[in-house]
Amino acid sequence: MTSTSARHFAALALVTGIALGAGTPSAQAKIVCWKNNEGVRECGNAVPPEYAQKSIERKSSMGMTVEKTQRAKTQAELDKERAETERMRKEKLEADRLAVEQTRKDRVLLQTFTTEEDLRLATDGKIAVIDSRIKHREQLTGKSEKTRDEMQGEAAQFERRGKKVPPELTKKINDVQLQIDNNRAQITKRKQERVQVQQQYETDLSRYRELKGG
């Protein structure tokens, strides 16, 4: 190769290199565009500081977009994301806890009852105890109501004679009424307990059959 040819080759390589370099994003990124506070798109050589957190486009001298960055999230958006992440974390923890608890209940169910009949007999026993307690409370309530009615009859006699009902008698009537109210509340509670035991039996029976493959 002659000296003249060598110089032409070097010049050509230099020009080609410059042309290639001009095609890279760093060389092309000469114009920056953003939106102002009114939502109007503006462009310039640099982003004003007050718009630095907004969505920005960098364009080449030919008007082609070479880079685009999203706007920075607001504090409210960041707080919402953190809250959502925390909610999902708690939901997962609760789901894991329930899964562990269900595994434990399943193990107890299978270890406690050999057959469905065993489960039914155990439930019948619980209900029998509850029914016995209800009956006992009902008997107490009946006796207390009879005592209250008798004392109220005495109080009525005082009133018919135009006399004031003795404070001691009034207190006894009130005390007996409190006993009646308490017994009635206990009866209601036991009846609710009876329903819960029956519902639990149905739930356990369904789960037992599922675990046994039946």
The predicted pLDDT at position 121 comes to: 97
Give CA–CA dist 48/105, Å, rounded: 64
Exposed / middle / buried, residue 88 (Cβ in 10 Å: 0-12, 13-18, 19+) = exposed
Look at residue 147 and tell me whether its pLDDT is greater than 90. Answer: yes
The predicted pLDDT at position 174 comes to: 97
**Residue for token digits 């299978």?**
110
The confidence band for 72, taking pLDDT boundaries of 50, 70 and 90, is: low
Q: Output 132 or 213, whichever has higher pLDDT.
A: 132
Helices 167-212 and 116-160 pack at an angle, to 10 degrees, of 170
User: Mean pLDDT across the stretch 119-143?
Assistant: 97
The predicted pLDDT at position 19 comes to: 40
Q: Output 33 or 159, whichever has higher pLDDT.
A: 159
Look at residue 106 and tell me whether its pLDDT is greater than 70. Answer: yes
Residue type, 88: M
Q: pLDDT tens digits for 186-212? A: 999 999 999 999 999 999 999 999 999
Q: Output 147 or 61, whichever has higher pLDDT.
A: 147
Q: Output 2 or 55, whichever has higher pLDDT.
A: 55
The predicted pLDDT at position 96 comes to: 97
Question: Sign of the CA dihedral 144, 146, 147, 153?
Answer: positive
Determine contact, residues 72/61, Cβ cutoff 8 Å: no
Backbone φ, ψ for residue 53 (5° rounding): -90, 0
Give CA–CA dist 105/88, Å, rounded: 26
Percentage of the chain beyond pLDDT 90 is 61
Q: pLDDT tens digits for 5-17? A: 444 333 334 334 4
Q: pLDDT tens digits for 42-63? A: 777 777 777 766 666 676 665 5
Residue type, 148: R
Q: pLDDT tens digits for 74-93? A: 788 778 889 999 999 999 99
The predicted pLDDT at position 79 comes to: 87
Backbone φ, ψ for residue 35 (5° rounding): -115, 135
Give CA–CA dist 213/207, Å, rounded: 10
Q: pLDDT tens digits for 170-191? A: 999 999 999 999 999 999 999 9
C-alpha dist (Å) from residue 118 to 107, 123, 124, 200, 209: 16, 9, 10, 15, 13
